[in-house]
């Protein structure tokens, strides 16, 4: 609601300014008529919201990064957060759906972890209220890790390096709660505030090309921005859609059991969208032009023309930020510190 | 053979030097009696052998690194070289056996990729003659990737970045042959020549502790060094052993079909062994003390005493080198460049 008022205010401001300076042709031309969109779009902040009870410290980030990559967080040792939310693929992965343990397949596509800290809730239907809950949810997931955070804590506390780092950060060895807090803290540092559109919004006229500006105008004027609003390009609402291959996945309904929530899914952020194919919660759309066309048809009830699609795709490329360098650097993890760490509980059952 | 002559020469030299300076007690004491072992052990060279037809260039290393991490090298997109030979675990992984695609389990433990370039042949029974063949072997493996390098080349050539980089390096787009060459080249850069024993061998008296020196002496005098010889701690011979859980895995026999080769496996390198639990080709031994004890019993036919085991384990820790920093830094991989990249051929069959 506040957002919408801000948007109207912005448009009003533009109209007033436009009226006052209508004759200053040079100034009007500098922006190529796109200056009004500086009021419609907002650049991402550098720092996401941080919960009062989980402040960021360098040691906590380090601990979270170790856990993010440690395959011993999963029941069989086959996987960890980083395997599906992979830095090589901008915090996501190029598969339709993730492979969990024992070859099991998730029912939805893995979203990028980048800028997840700016989202109101996590997962495709907002199943987790925050990153702390999300991290533990993935560890406990029947498909992803099939593990129990308590067991993970016991297993990793046998490694002196984990035990000591956790005591340093929390005053106690690893627990379920501080595993969630640590991973969430690491994820909060994975933001990409420096992308071409943000630079343009901050005054660098040449940060985006003419075609991208046309796409930006179309994105706003055609109505994409109604849902893909705000700095994160998501207003956190749940919209109804049956995507290709999406029949039978009821989305929000599975959480609320309210009939009206059937096939509702959280509006995804569009930051770095050009780097995170395939698309939709089923991962069934291979490329960005097809996805833009689908959104036009399904959500805006309009058939976008070829050049409109091309312009919007060009615009979406202006949302690709710089990868956080520390996300690309892997930690070296403690191994061999205690007996039992590599025992049968780390073996996929019945297959060894 | 050459090695053994060198060893005898070294011992002879020590005896002569010892005779000449028997009264210079101080000098003799500086080495604590361990100086002779400087002739028994050899530090790893900084640069491994490089094949004449596959020279190392920075662009080729970069291309190899991208392929090493790219999950599109596997049939379903579930895995890549880096997933099992992982920098976080010193180029190996903490599982008994690797999980391949569709949850299939390898029959043997994944060995570290670090210093593999110094080995005469690759895999546990020398199945591949060099790193080029090894890389393609893993891609083609029914369990690992179940993919065809030709298809991988076609798939990745659709990404302009891969296509252009390959043309720059090889004068042509990706092919089966240059996929193997690129990955092998990246792996050749993954060496750890700077470890405490090497520093001691090069003259830094304090690089290893007294207990490690005792372990070094035991390692040589008890006979471990007969097979774990040379800078890589492997003489590349095939030794007969049935490890726990190893019944039915015939090793070299499966390649040669010669009765005498049953249960023969290549002597593994011991560099970084303290970081790469679990042990044996079945991954069935959890920790280093148990493994040292097992080797004493099975290979040396001797029951090592507790303090001997502890000393040898301490010595083995002196073989832990510094992780190559560029191995820890992930590449950002091209995505979304062409239709079909994320099509059904990247989905685990029958499970989506």
Q: What's the Rg (C-alpha) of chain B? A: 22
Query: Among all residues of chain A, which has the CA nearest to that of B70?
Result: A88
> Cβ of A345 under 8 Å from any chain B Cβ?
no
Per DSSP, the residues of A202-215 read TT-GGGS-HHHHHH
Query: Among all residues of chain A, which has the CA nearest to that of B313?
Result: A336
Question: pLDDT by residue (tens digit) across B149-164?
Answer: 888 899 899 889 999 9
Q: Which residue, among A66, A79, A95, would best test binding to B if mutated, counting the most B CBs under 10 Å from its CB?
A: A95
> Cβ of B160 under 8 Å from any chain A Cβ?
no
Note the pLDDT of residue B333. Answer: 93
Per-residue pLDDT of chain A (352 residues; tens, 9 = 90+): 344 444 444 433 333 433 333 333 333 345 679 999 999 999 999 899 999 999 999 999 999 999 999 988 887 777 899 999 999 999 998 888 887 776 677 888 899 999 999 998 998 988 889 999 999 988 887 666 667 888 889 989 989 999 999 999 999 999 999 999 999 999 999 999 999 999 999 999 999 999 999 999 999 999 999 999 999 999 999 999 999 999 999 999 999 999 999 999 999 999 999 999 889 999 889 889 999 999 999 999 999 999 999 999 999 999 999 999 999 999 999 886 544 444 444 454 434 3
pTM above 0.95, yes or no: no
Buried b (16+ CB within 10 A) or exposed e, A28-56: eeeeeebebbbbbbbbbeeebeeeeebeb
How far is residue A273's CA from residue A111's CA, in Å, rounded to a whole number? 10
Cβ distance B88 to A348 less than 8 Å, yes or no, reads: no
Q: Are A190 and A87 in contact (CB under 8 A)?
A: no
3-state secondary structure of B279: strand
How far is residue A267's CA from residue B88's CA, in Å, rounded to a whole number? 34
Within chain B, which residues score under 70 in pLDDT? 1-31, 102-103, 142-146, 336-352
Structure tokens that stand for B178 in this block: 């240059």
How far is residue B210's CA from residue B207's CA, in Å, rounded to a whole number? 10
Neighbours of A5 (CB within 10 A): 9
For residue A93, give how far its alpha carbon lies from the nearest alpha carbon of chain B (Å).
9
Note the pLDDT of residue A30. Answer: 54
Cβ-in-10-Å burial (0-12, 13-18, 19+) of A303 comes to exposed
Cβ distance B88 to A330 less than 8 Å, yes or no, reads: yes
Q: What's the Rg (C-alpha) of chain A? A: 22
How far is residue B210's CA from residue B219's CA, in Å, rounded to a whole number? 14
Residue whose C-alpha is closest to residue B195's, from B298, B263, B275, B139? B275
How far is residue A59's CA from residue B350's CA, in Å, rounded to a whole number? 44
Residue B257 parent element (H or E): none
Note the pLDDT of residue B94. Answer: 84
Picking from A105, A330, A347, the nearest residue to B87 by CB comes out as A330
> Cβ of B341 under 8 Å from any chain A Cβ?
yes
Residue B265 parent element (H or E): strand B264-266
Please report, for residues A23, A175, A227, the alpha-carbon distance to residue A221 in angstroms, rounded to integers and kept in the order given: 25, 50, 13
At B296, give phi and psi (nearest 5°): -60, -45
* Maximum separation of any 2 CA atoms in chain A, in Å: 80
Interface predicted TM-score (ipTM): 0.79
Note the pLDDT of residue A13. Answer: 39
Please count the CA atoms within 13 angstroms of the CA of A203 that sit on its side-chain side.
0
Cβ distance B97 to A335 less than 8 Å, yes or no, reads: no
At A122, give phi and psi (nearest 5°): -110, 165
């Amino acid at each position: 609601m506040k957002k919408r008022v801000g948007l109207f205010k912005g448009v009003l401001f533009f109209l007033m300014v436009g009226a006052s300076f209508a004759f200053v042709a040079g100034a009007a031309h500098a922006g190529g008529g796109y200056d009004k969109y500086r009021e419609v779009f907002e650049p991402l902040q550098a720092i996401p919201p941080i919960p009062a009870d989980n402040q960021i410290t360098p040691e906590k980030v380090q601990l979270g990064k170790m856990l993010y990559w440690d395959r011993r967080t999963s029941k069989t040792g086959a996987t960890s957060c980083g395997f599906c939310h992979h830095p090589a693929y901008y915090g996501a992965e190029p598969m339709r759906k993730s492979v969990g343990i024992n070859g099991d397949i998730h029912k939805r596509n893995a979203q990028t972890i980048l800028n997840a800290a700016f989202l109101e809730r996590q997962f495709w239907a907002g199943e987790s209220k925050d990153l702390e809950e999300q991290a533990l949810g993935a560890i406990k997931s029947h498909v992803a890790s099939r593990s129990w955070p308590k067991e993970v804590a016991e297993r990793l506390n046998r490694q002196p390096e984990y035990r000591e780092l956790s005591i340093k950060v929390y005053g106690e060895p690893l627990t379920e709660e501080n595993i969630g807090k640590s991973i969430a803290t690491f994820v909060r540092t994975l933001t990409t505030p420096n992308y071409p559109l943000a630079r343009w919004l901050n005054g660098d006229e040449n940060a985006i090309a003419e075609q991208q500006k046309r796409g930006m105008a179309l994105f706003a004027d055609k109505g994409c921005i109604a849902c893909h609003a705000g700095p994160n390009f998501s207003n956190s609402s749940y919209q109804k859609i049956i995507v290709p291959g999406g029949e039978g996945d009821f989305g929000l309904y599975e959480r609320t059991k309210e009939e009206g929530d059937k096939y509702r899914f959280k509006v995804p952020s569009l930051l770095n969208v050009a780097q995170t194919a395939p698309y939709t919660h089923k991962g069934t759309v291979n490329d960005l032009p097809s996805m833009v066309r689908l959104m036009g048809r399904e959500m805006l009830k309009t058939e976008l023309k070829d050049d409109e699609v091309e312009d919007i795709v060009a615009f979406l490329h202006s949302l690709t930020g710089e990868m956080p360098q520390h996300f690309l650097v892997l930690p070296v993890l403690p191994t061999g510190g205690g007996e039992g760490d590599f025992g049968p509980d780390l073996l996929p059952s019945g297959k060894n």
